[in-house]
Amino acid sequence: MNPLKKLLEQTAIYGISSVVGRLLNYLLVPLYTRYFLPEEYGVVTELYAYVAFLIVFLTYGFETAFFRFIDKHNNLSKVFSTAFISLLFHQ
């Protein structure tokens, strides 16, 4: 299989949840602003702001680090298990 085609397929598969979530959020904003009071919708907005900052700290760059270490050590199971255990106990 062509590597570029494989990359595009995997990007579509793993990226679709992000796109659907953002699209759903965008489409629900008029509904939220119509039915929620400004104080109630402010809570939702504040929650999204916290999530944006916390997601960086909760995963602490493991996506990049995983690929960097797998390239150096060539031991997929050890690198994955170490990263997974660290994230599991961090949560």
List, for residues 34-89, the tens digit of each pLDDT value: 998 988 888 988 988 998 888 776 666 667 777 777 777 777 777 778 777 877 77
Whole-model pTM over 0.75: no
Residues 9, 34, single domain; the answer is: yes
Please tell me the predicted confidence (pLDDT) of residue 24. Answer: 92
Residues 39, 19, single domain; the answer is: yes
CA distance 55 to 83: 16
DSSP letter for 8, please: H
CA distance 68 to 8: 21
Please tell me the predicted confidence (pLDDT) of residue 27. Answer: 94
Residues 64, 43, single domain; the answer is: no
Residues 70, 28, single domain; the answer is: no
Domain region containing 73: 60-91
The pair of structure tokens assigned to 59 is 């995963």
Cβ(79)–Cβ(73) under 8 Å? Answer: yes
CA distance 91 to 89: 5
